[in-house]
Structure 1
Amino acid sequence: MNRDRLAGLLTCHNRCTKTLASLSALFAQEHQSEIAIDVYLVDDGSTDGTAEAVKQSYPQVKIIQGNGNLFWNGGMRQAFAEALQYDYDYYLWLNDDTLLYPNALSQLLATYQSLIQQGEHRAIISGSTCDPTTGALTYGGVVRRSRWRPLKFDLVEPSEQVQQCDTVNGNCVLIPREVAQVVGNLDSAFSHYIGDWDYGLRARQQGCTVWIAPGYVGTCASNDQSDRKDNFSVSPSEQLQQMAQPKGLSVQKEILYSLGEWKVFAQRHGGLLWPIYWLIPYRRLLWSSLMGSFHQVSSR
C-alpha cells in the first residue's frame, strides 16, 4: 500500500532539550503506518550541541545548517524550500517548542479529509496549542478583529467542530500539496514574525481556505509580552535600532515590527487605508520622539 508522504518542517536555535522533545513527540505519532514522515530541521547556528544531539537520537532527520541569522521565518523558509523539491503530499510546520499529542497528526489529517468531502481541496489546517500548565489557549487560528482593524488578530478557541479563520500562528500547521503548489513558500520579506500570518492571508487571496482543527493538538507555552519591560524608557534612537532587529521592539505587551517589514504586510493586507494601519502601531513612539525633540529645543 502506498502511503502518503509528509514533510515535517522545524527550525531551532540553542533549545536542544525542547527540540529533542518536540521531535520525540512527532515521531511518536499514532497511525504512522498510514503516512511516511520525513523531517527537515534547520539548525540556525546553535552552539549548545543541538545538531549533534539530533543526529545521535534521530539520524533520519535531515539537518540543514543555518548561519545564525535566519530566525523563525528564515529558518522555516529554508526547510520548506528543501522539502518542496520532493513534492510531498503534506507539509507540517512545527515549532520546536511544541509538543504534539499522540493523535495530533491523525486529527489534522482527518480534518483535512473531512474538508475535501465538502469540496475544500485547498485548505490549510491550524492545530491549536495550549499552555502545558494552565491549559489556556496559546497559539492556533486567528481572525481579524474587525473590518476597521484588519491588521489586528484575535485567537479563536478550538471547539468540537472545525472552524474557519483568517490566518494562522505557525506553531502547528498542516499544508497540503494543493496549497503549496499555489502559494509556494514563506516570503523572504519577513525575518522572524508575521510571515505565518502573511502566508495564510496570501493563501486566501489565491482561493485557498484556512481552518482550525477541533480540539487541541498539543502544548506550547506562550511567548507573550506580559513580562516585557516598557521600552519607551530608552532613547528614541535606541528604540529605532531595536525595532529594526528581527524580533522588533517590545512595548506594553505589543511588538513593534521593523517599519519595512510591517509596511510590506500593511500594503498587502490593509486595503486602501493601509498607510494609516501601517503607522498606527508606531504612534506612541513617534509622539515620544517628537516630544523629546521639542523638549531639547525648548531647553536651549
Structure 2
Amino acid sequence: MIYIIIAVHNRRALTLGCLTCLAQQTLTDQRVVVVDDGSTDGTSEHISAQFPDVVVLPGTGSLWWAGATNLGIRYVLDTFSPGADDFILTLNDDTKIQPDYLASLLTAYRVNAPCLVGSVSVDVNAPQRLLYAGTHLNLRFPNIENWADTRFNNSYALLTKTGSYFVSESLPGRGMLIPLPVFNVIGLFDESHFQHHMADLDFSVSARKAGFQLVISAASVVHEYTDATGINVMRPMSLNQFWQALSATRSPINWKTRYHFALKQAPYTYLYFGLDMLRIIGGYALRQIRGHLYALCNSSSFAKKMSP
C-alpha cells in the first residue's frame, strides 16, 4: 500500500487537479491523505464532494509543509498500522502526473531496494524541459549541483537516453517514495527546524547517512507548475524585499533554516553557514549590479535613438 500525503493551502484548483491525476492511476493500492492547513477557498469541501475516499485532515494554518506532512504521516501510522512493506509518498499539489506514475515508483523501488525513490521534475508548460533529475551535494562547502542543469542540459529526452535510475545525494519532497522502515530509523520530518523549505533535503540527507540509498527514477515524472511554488528569490527585488526574504518562512533563503541545516548536516557548521550566506548575499548583489547596468545600457541606447 502507498499512503500519499499532500499538504495544501488555498490552491483549490491545483489540489483538485492533482487528486484527479491520482484517481486515474493504474496502481490502485493507494490511499490519499490531504492535510488542509487552514485553506479559506473551500478546498476541503470540494475534496469531500468530488473525492469522498480521500481523507482530509484540518490543519491550524501554521503547520507549513513539514508540520502538515508529519500530521498526515502520524494519522497513517495511528489509523492504518501500515507494515514494513508499505510506503509513504510525499507529493505536492502543484503537480500533474501520468496514470503510470505510482506504478513506476514501485518498480523503481523493487529494482533498487532498499531505497527511497525520487521523481524527475519537468515544466508542466514545456514537458521536455527538465527541472530536476538528482543532485550532487557538497556538505563541506555550500553547493548543490542540480544534474538537470549540469548533466542533462535541462533535456528530459537526454535523461531518458542516459539511463533509467540514478543514485542521488538528496531528494525533493514533491514525489518522494519512502519505505515505512525509514521512519523507524530516522523519525519524521524535522518540523521544529525546517517548517517549509529544506525539510525534504534534511530528511533525505539523514536517510542517506543512515544507509538508505536515494534513487531517481527517470520514468517517474512530476509535471510542475513552476509559477506556483514559494518565493522566487531570483526575480528582481528591492533591498527591503531581499531583507524580508532572509527571514520569511516561505523563502528558500531563510537564514535560520539554512543555519540549522548547516548545524545538523555539515561537518564544519560555521564555515558552511558563513559561505552559504555569503553566496546568497553576493548573488543578490550581482543581480542588482547587472540589473542596473542593463537599465543604464538601455537608457543610453534609447537616448542615442532619440537624439537628432
Relative to the length of structure 2, the TM-score reads 0.78
Q: CA RMSD in A?
A: 2.5
Match of 1:16 in 2: 12
Q: In structure 2, the residue corresponding to 1:215 is in which secondary structure? A: strand
- Report the equivalent of 1:93: 90
- Structure with bigger helix share is 2
Q: Which residue of 1 aligns with 2:264?
A: 268
Give the CA deviation at 1:148: 5.0
Distance 1:26 1:206 in 2: 31
* Mapped partners of 1:226, 1:269: distance in 2: 24
User: Which residue number in structure 1 is paired with residue 135 of structure 2?
Assistant: 142
Letter in 1 for 2:225: A
Indicate if the aligned counterparts of 2:8 and 2:93 stay in contact, CA closer than 8 A. Answer: yes
Per the alignment, do residues 53 and 139 of structure 1 end up closer, same or farther by CA in structure 2, a change over 3 Å counting? farther
Instruction: Tell me what 1:106 maps to.
Output: 103
Partner of residue 292, structure 2: none
Aligned match for 1:280, one of 275, 279, 298 = 275
Distance 1:267 1:226 in 2: 23
Conservation of the 8 A alpha-carbon contact between 1:151 and 1:269: no
Equivalent residues in 2 for 1:111-126 (5 A)?
A: 111-116=108-113, 121=114, 123-126=115-118
Unaligned runs of 5+ in 2: 153-158, 285-308
SS at match of 1:31: coil
| Matched residue type, 1:16 | R
**Structure 2 match to 1:46:** 39
Q: Does 1:221 align with 2:225?
A: yes
- 3-state SS, counterpart of residue 267 of structure 1: helix
Q: Matched residue of 2:61: which SS?
A: coil
**Alignment CA distance shift 1:267-1:44 (3 Å):** same
Shift of 1:155: 4.0
In 1: Cα distance, 2:22 partner to 2:136 partner: 27
Question: Judging changes above 3 Å, is the alpha-carbon distance between structure 1 residues 228 and 84 closer, same or farther for their aligned structure 2 residues?
Answer: farther
Task: Give the distance between the partners of 2:104 and 2:173, measured in 1 at CA.
Answer: 17
Q: Which residue type is aligned with residue 29 of structure 1?
A: Q
Matched, 1:55 2:48: yes
Following TM superposition, by how much is the alpha carbon of 1:149 offset from its aligned partner in structure 2, in angstroms?
Answer: 3.0
Note closer, same or farther for the CA distance 1:226–1:167 as it changes in structure 2 (3 Å cut). same
CA displacement at 1:227 relative to structure 2: 6.2
210-219 or 59-68, larger mean C-alpha shift: 210-219
**TM-fit CA distance, 1:127:** 1.1
Equivalents in 2 of 1:226, 1:261: separation in Å?
Answer: 15
Amino acid in structure 2 at the alignment position of 1:70: L
**The one of 193, 204, 208 aligned to 2:197:** 193
What is the one-letter code of the residue matched to 1:191? Q
| Deviation of the 1:214 alpha carbon | 2.2
Report how many residues are paired: 264
Task: Report the CA distance between 1:242 and its aligned residue.
Answer: 4.2
Find 1:78's aligned residue among 56, 71, 75.
71
Out of 198-207 and 61-70, give the one that drifted further.
61-70
Alpha-carbon contact 2:139-2:266 (below 8 Å) kept:
no
Q: Distance in 1 between matches of 2:147 and 2:117?
A: 14
Identity over the aligned pairs, expressed in percent?
25
Find the residue that maps to 1:77 and give its secondary structure.
helix
Counterpart of 1:133, as a letter, is N
Classify 1:84/1:139 alpha carbon distance in 2 versus 1 (closer, same or farther; 3 Å): farther
Structure 1 residues 151, 184: CA separation in 2 closer, same or farther (over 3 Å shift)?
A: farther
- Tell me the distance in 2 between the aligned counterparts of 1:101 and 1:218: 8
Q: Equivalent residue for 1:292?
A: none
Stretches (4+) displaced over 6 A? none
Residues 87 and 270 of structure 1: CA distance in aligned 2, closer, same or farther (over 3 Å): same
Find the counterpart in structure 2 of residue 29 from structure 1: 25
Distance (Å, rounded) in 2 between the aligned partners of 1:226 and 1:137: 20
Q: CA 1:227–1:260 in structure 2 vs 1: closer, same or farther (change >3 Å)?
A: closer
The SS at the match of 2:62 is coil
Report the AA paired with residue 193 of structure 1. H
Q: Does 1:247 align with 2:250?
A: yes
C-alpha change, 1:69 and 1:161, in structure 2 (3 Å) is same
- Structure 1 gaps, min length 5: 249-254, 289-300
